[in-house]
Structure 1
Amino acid sequence: MAMEHPRGSGAGGGDGCLTVAVRMPVRIVAFAVVLPLRLLWDAVATAGRGAGAGLRWTWRRLLFPPLRVLGVALAWLWRTLVVIPVVFLARYLVAVPLVALWRYVLAPVGRGIGWALRQSGRGCGWLFAHLVVLPLAALWRYVLLPVGRGIRAALAGLGNGASWLGHYLLVVPARLLWHSLLVPVTVFLVRYVVAVPLVALWRYVLAPAGRGIVWTLRQTGRGLAWLLATLVVLPLSFTWRRIVVPVTREIGTALGFAWRAAGYVSRAVGRGLKWLVRVTVVVPAAWVWRWTGAPAVRALRAAGRWYGRAVHAPLKEAVAEARRTLRQLRAETRRALFGAPTSKQLPPRRPGVEPGAFGPAPEQDTADALLADAPAPTPFPAPRHRRPQNPDLSPDLAKRQPPSHR
């Protein structure tokens, strides 16, 4: 941690006298101000890291497993008590009745209404075509169209005559009057009454006055710029370059130096506290655990293993042996009272039915079938989800016949 400025050493490093005079007091004050803040910052950061690790362990080990089990249980209860009943009720109380209503009521009625509307539309179209369209077409073709052509020819002749009269009675005299009288008079008036006076006014009055005003404004601006540069810009530039920039740079350097020095002090304080906690708490706790807790835990584990081998296993074997003896005694009593079970023949296998699907299983279940006193399985009924079609109906009508959903 060098105390000198990094750009030089002492007053001979190229710094001004103001920089050298301000450097050490500013560093001392910055160190005195920044050190408590750095210690507080390091303490808060360490406490935050410890709290974050503790919260993560608590969430991962204590809160997340029961919350996960609770979520799975709630999801199962929601699905079992709400979703499945609602789906069942919606399917068999809403969907199935609506499908049946559409398929057997609304769709046939709609097809009948559509057929009736198509037939009525065809009839109305035929009537409209023969009662309205054909008379109007004949009226247009044989009456209105010839009359319109005659009127158009008459109007065309009248228009041609009116255009010839207008051209030779109005256009030609107006053109002669414009080219012979109005244009020369207008040009003379505009040139010698408006243009010549305006050009003379601009050349001999406005242009010299404007040049004089521009010169005056330019000289005034130069003077104001010189005054502003001399009285404002130069003092501000000198103050910024010689006072503000060095003082600001030294303050920033001092704050950085104080922050690094406070970091060293903070780390030293942290190492001291760590050593103190280790000597006063961790080492005694480890010694107590090594010579007291660990032997007690090992003794408890050894006692548990001895209990499992010497007590629990023989007791479990004795209970199992007693169950087996009781089961054999019950079988011997049943055999002595009711006799040995008689063998029975399996029912004949039906053609086209897989063994074990609707009757008894194959050879591995033969003993269970012989011991079970149950009647022969009834034949599986034929599926009733399709209605047999009437052979008297035509193929198209048989295809249109709706299926049965009993």
Structure 2
Amino acid sequence: MDLEKPPAGPPATPSAQPPARAPEGCLVVAVRLPVRIVVLVLVVPVRMVWDALVVVGRFLRDAVLRPLGRALLWLGNALFVLPLIGLWRYIVVPVVKALGRLVEMLLVVPVVWAYRHVLTPLGHGVAWLARGIGTGLAWVYARVLTPVGHAVGRLFKGIGAVLAAVGVGAYTAVAWLVRHLVVLPAGWVHRWILAPAGRAIAWCAQGVWRLLTLLATGTGLVLYWTARILVVLPALALRRWVLAPVGRFLAVVAREVGEALGHAWRIAGRISRAVGRFLGTLFRWIFVEPVRWVYRTVLTPVGHVVRDAVLRPAARAARSVGRTARQTLAAARETARQARADVRRMLFGESREPEAVHRREPSGAEARTLGRSTTALTKD
């Protein structure tokens, strides 16, 4: 029931064959065809509008947005990047270098000088003084405080020995009284009164706990079976006999709608491509071919006639006029030069010929020419 035939090709090998689909029921087949027809009718206009928008977007990207982006990039580079680079290179960097040099001269150099010539000698002096004070305190500790501490320790040891000898007898008497007045009565009370009472209380508490446990177990069993009969079993029946079939039906419908959308989108693409080619061919035959025919049949011969009959003669005439004007200007310059020479000769007389000066360079007549193979140096 598919709307598209599978592409023709060589038979697939057993390892490359797709997994076999589960057998489909009549409900799936009955749902698939109307769904695909409806989806195709709905998707074809959307696909054609989408393809038209794609073509318009590509045209705008290539003809408008890309040149505009390049122009904006060049404008941003000219208005922001280059001024910022010049500002950084010719203003910020020199100013920062000058400030760094100023800080070094006003702060770093004085601090280094003060550390080297003031703080270091002062620290050495303080360290020497501290070493002297430490040596004196160590001498006092070793020569004064240590003997005094030893003497005090011996004194306290003697006092402790005396107190221990006096307190042994008192300790023995106090221990006998505590044993017979406190320990023995407390043991009798614990053995014959407190222990039986505690056992009785524990037995009672154990019985109460067992009774409460039995009651809680019975109540839990009653509530469990009540909830199972009233809630769980109806929920299982609802899921098994209502929700599961409805879910499977909706899954089949959703799967068929998805596959129908895919098929419809591909078929709409082919239809849109065919419509686009038809419109392109129609535009070519209605506009492009007539314009090409007019250009080739009418404008090109007319242009050749205009070029041969008007432009080329006009160009030759313009070149001859220019050549005549250049010759006229050259003759006028030559006449003016001769007139100036005659006036100079009438006013100042003939100019003397310059005396010949011997030069190492060969003259024009003795120099090597293109027609001879000799030079002035090798000529006899």
The amino acid of 2:116's aligned partner reads: G
Task: Note if 1:190 corresponds to 2:194.
Answer: yes
Give the letter aligned to residue 195 of structure 2. R
Measured in 1, the distance between the counterparts of 2:302 and 2:153 equals 128
TM-score normalised per structure 2: 0.59
Aligned ranges 1:4-403 → 2 under 5 Å? 7-8=23-24, 10=26, 19=27, 24=30, 28=34, 31-32=37-38, 34-35=39-40, 37-58=42-63, 62-71=67-76, 73-74=78-79, 77-78=82-83, 81-87=86-92, 89-90=94-95, 93-98=98-103, 101=105, 107=109, 110-111=112-113, 114-127=116-129, 130=132, 132-162=133-163, 169-170=170-171, 173=175, 176-177=179-180, 180-194=184-198, 196-202=199-205, 204-208=207-211, 210-242=213-245, 244-256=246-258, 258-259=260-261, 262-263=264-265, 266-267=268-269, 269-270=271-272, 273-274=275-276, 276-293=278-295, 296=299
Q: Give the TM-score taking structure 1 as reference length.
A: 0.56
Instruction: State the distance in 1 between where 2:262 and 2:223 align.
Output: 56
Structure 2: which amino acid aligns with 1:49?
V
**Counterparts of 2:130 and 2:87 in 1: how far apart (Å)?**
61
CA distance in 2, matches of 1:72, 1:299: 47
The aligned counterpart of 1:374 is none
**SS at 1:143 equivalent:** helix
Could you tell me which runs of 5 or more consecutive residues in structure 2 were left unpaired when the two chains were aligned: 4-20, 345-350, 358-380
Alpha-carbon shift at residue 95 of structure 1 (Å)? 4.7
Cα distance in 2 for residues equivalent to 1:57 and 1:84: 37
Query: Taking structure 1 as reference, are residues 302 and 197 closer, same or farther at Cα in structure 2, changes over 3 Å only?
Result: farther
Mapped partners of 1:282, 1:265: distance in 2: 26
- Cα distance, 1:60 vs structure 2: 7.5
1:39-72 deviation line (CA, Å, top 9, x unaligned)? 3431342133213322331367623544454455
The Cα shift of 1:211 comes to 2.7
Q: Tell me by how many angstroms 1:252 deviates.
A: 1.9
The count of aligned residue pairs is 313
CA distance in 2, matches of 1:216, 1:79: 84
Which has the larger displacement, 175-184 or 138-147? 175-184
The one-letter code matched in structure 2 to 1:148 is G
Q: C-alpha displacement at 1:193, in angstroms? A: 1.4
Deviations 1:239-265 (A, max 9, x none): 1234x1343134325524653564476
Structure of higher RCO (CA pairs closer than 8 Å, 6+ residues apart)? 2
Q: In the alignment, residue 67 of structure 2 is paired with which amino acid?
A: L
CA contact (8 A) 2:51 2:272 kept: no
CA apart distance, 1:134 = 4.8
Checking the alignment, whether the CA contact within 8 Å between 2:48 and 2:269 is kept in structure 1 is: no
Quote the offset at 1:292 in angstroms: 2.6
Distance 2:77 2:207 in 1: 101
Is there any run of 5+ residues in structure 1 with no aligned partner, and where?
11-18, 344-406
CA distance in 2, matches of 1:122, 1:268: 95
Give the Cα separation in 2 of the matches to 1:297 and 1:149: 131
Counterparts in 2 of 1:301 and 1:232: CA distance versus 1, 3 Å: farther
Task: Report if the CA contact (8 A) 1:27-1:257 is conserved.
Answer: no
Kept in 1: contact 2:31–2:253 (CA 8 A): no
What letter corresponds to residue 229 of structure 2 in structure 1?
W
Name the CA distance, whole Å, in 2 between partners of 1:213 and 1:80: 85
CA drift at 1:181: 4.2
- Percent identity, please: 17
